[in-house]
Amino acid sequence: MSTTNIPGANGIIQNEPLLWEKGKKGRRGMCVPASDVPEAHFPADFQGQGVDFPDLSEVDVVRHYTRLSQWNYGVDTGMYPLGSCTMKYNPKINEKVASTPQLAAAHPMLSDALVQGNLQIMYELQEYLAAITGLPGVTVQPAAGAHGELAGMLIFAAYHKAKNSKRNKILIPDTAHGTNPASAALCGYKPVPIKSGPNGILDIKSIAAVMDEETAGIMVTNPNTLGLFETNIREIAEIVHAKGGLVYGDGANLNAVMGIINPRKCGVDVMHLNLHKTFSTPHGGGGPGAGPVCVTEELSKYLPSPRAVKEDNTYRLDYGGPESVGRVHAFHGNFSVLLRAYSYIRTMGAENLKKASQLAVLNAAYIKEKLKGTLPLAYNRPCMHECVFSDALLQEDKISTLDLAKRLIDCGYHPPTIYFPLVVHGAIMIEPTETECKEDIDQFIEVVKMIVREAKENPELLRQAPMRAKTRRLDETLAARHPCLCG
Ligand SMILES: *Cc1c(COP(=O)(O)O)cnc(C)c1O
């Protein structure tokens, strides 16, 4: 393919100084008519130092922010195949709904009687999420997936405490997202890592071998972070339940299974969903998000409070009983994220939610099939919403997964997730989502093939990449520890 066809071939990236460096005394963005009243002065001791704002024209300001925005890459720029993150396109109608003044400007301390519509939306969203997961008790308070996990672990702890059952461990597969062991540890549980079987999923025997009456339960991500469906989930849940444990479902990968599996029927007792992954809140910038938690009838009394309830056609916040684990977020949670999810679910309808999942899986399976001759598959079996390759072939040319990822930036793509999950050497995890069309996916596939050819023919090109980005290779450790925000 000719390099002029790839999306990143023609980018212009302007340098841009700070506004303070750009300003020139006396420059301004508007003209104020000459004053026709006598000048008045504040007393000298009233004036202070004045603000240190630069003088700028309108075009200075517009260009400044436009240029800064062009250093960024988002789902609205192009394909963002970041595995495990579900970076799908979020329909703009949901943004419009979230910014409706009656909703966006409602004060969180208004009495229930004055915000019936808002409470109705919260209540109905709870009901929709209950229908999607099969788990009837729902809180929309948690602000993120990890926060939902924490709420879930607090519920585990409250349940076992009420049963007077002392449990201090929790089973967590080696493919789990790092937040799983962290959330469990925050609640005092010791994470017990479980090795996945040779086919990338949990085997029944390894759970049976360690599940005991000191173990609070298991945290399972399904499909797991290798993009594989945990087909033994029911048997695993039975083993855990037989020993008095609970099953936590990490629902971050729900985008693969909406309307297709019923988590409750798989044996899940508690599950969080990431509204900012599956349900149309743009993310990647660190928030805000929402991680509602859905639980069985039996566990509902432990849910965080308050929750929206409906009685005789009126809605109110219910503060729960003494068993509730209490509040995990101020006011109503991240309400604007709930609005987007509500709008997304209403505009899609059950049929289209299911179709979205089917297409997400189809797109990933297509990439897996098309690229499996180019990069080695970590597990050669049907995938769900994402497919994972290893660096085994790149290593022959002394090229790392990082080099390939950096070269993709030059070609106009946000790199996929790399070096995760940890069980795959030099992992490259690609999640195209349902919102990419076949032409764009085909182009991405061609670009990956081109880069793998370059690894043989011109490996230096990969080692030097990215050449066309605003910044080249950063010292990622230094960047995290000593962020320099003015360079
Ligand atoms: C994203 C993710 C999480 C954490 O969700 P946050 O909203 O980022 O806190 C947990 N588990 C899995 C599998 C994920 O992909």
Q: List the residue whose alpha carbon is closest to atom 14 of ligand 1.
A: 252
Q: Report how far ligand 1's centroid is from the alpha carbon of 353 (Å).
A: 20
Count of CB atoms situated within 10 Å of the CB of 468? 16
**For the residues 12-26, what does the mean pLDDT come to?**
87
Q: How far is the CA of 207 from the centre of ligand 1 (A)?
A: 23
234 touches 267 (CB < 8 A): yes
Q: What does the pLDDT look like over 114-140, one tens digit per residue?
A: 999 999 999 999 999 999 999 999 999
Q: Is the CB of 291 under 6 A from ligand 1?
A: yes
How far apart CA 136 and CA 487 sit, in angstroms, is: 50
Question: Quick one: pLDDT at residue 431?
Answer: 98
The Å distance, Cα 273 to ligand 1 centre, comes to 9
Confirm or reject: Cβ of 334 under 6 Å from ligand 1: no
Tell me whether residue 412 is exposed, middle or buried, using C-beta atoms within 10 angstroms of its C-beta: 0 to 12, 13 to 18, 19 or more.
Answer: buried
**Phi/psi zone of residue 84: left (φ > 0), alpha (ψ -120 to 50 degrees), beta?**
left
Q: What is the mean pLDDT of residues 70-91?
A: 92
The answer to whether the CB of 146 falls within 8 A of the CB of 183 is yes
Q: Could you write out the DSSP letters of every residue in 60-122? A: HHHHHHHHHHHT---TTTS---BTTS------HHHHHHHT-HHHHT--TTS-GGGGHHHHHHH
Evaluate if residue 487 carries a pLDDT over 60: no
To test ligand 1's pocket by mutation, which of 84, 88, 179, 293 has the most ligand atoms within 8 angstroms of CB? 179
Question: With contact defined as beta carbons under 8 Å apart, do 200 and 169 qualify?
Answer: no
pLDDT of 346 strictly over 70: yes
pLDDT in tens, 353-388: 999 999 999 999 999 999 999 999 999 999 999 999
172 pLDDT higher than 60:
yes
Exposure of 4 by Cβ count < 10 A (0-12 exposed, 13-18 middle, 19+ buried)?
A: exposed
The pLDDT of residue 2 is above 60: no
3-state SS assignment for residue 273: strand
Compute the distance between CA of residue 442 and CA of residue 448 in angstroms, rounded to an integer.
10
Rounded to two decimals, the pTM is: 0.92
pLDDT at residue 286 in the model:
77
Confidence of residue 457 (pLDDT cuts 50, 70, 90): very high
In the predicted structure, residue 486 carries a pLDDT above the cut 90 = no
Three-class secondary structure of residue 221 per DSSP:
strand
Contact in structure between 97 and 103 (CB atoms under 8 Å): yes
Instruction: Give the C-alpha separation, 81 to 436, whole Å.
Output: 10
For range 94-113, the mean pLDDT:
95
pLDDT at position 3 over 80: no
The domain 93-348 having CATH identifier 3.30.465.10: the answer here is no
Instruction: Specify the domain boundaries for CATH 3.90.1150.10 within the chain.
Output: 358-473
Residue nearest atom 11 of ligand 1, based on CA coordinates: 177
- The DSSP string of 447-461 is HHHHHHHHHHH-HHH
For residue 331, what is the DSSP state? T
Q: How many separate helices (H) and strands (E) can be counted in the chain?
A: 17, 12
* Inter-residue long-range contacts of 178-186, CB under 8 Å, 24+ positions, other chains counted: 179/145, 179/146, 179/149, 180/149, 180/219, 180/221, 180/250, 182/146, 183/146, 183/149, 183/150, 183/152, 183/153, 184/149, 184/153, 184/219, 186/150, 186/153
pLDDT of residue 6: 76
pLDDT tier at 203 (50, 70, 90 boundaries)? very high
* Ligand 1 atom at shortest distance from the alpha carbon of 146: 9
Confidence of residue 49 (pLDDT cuts 50, 70, 90): confident
The mean predicted confidence, pLDDT, of the chain is 94
| Domain limits, CATH 3.40.640.10, in the chain | 93-348
Q: Note the pLDDT tens digit of each residue in 272-301.
A: 999 999 999 998 777 799 999 999 999 999
Q: Which CATH architecture has domain 358-473?
A: Alpha-Beta Complex (3.90)
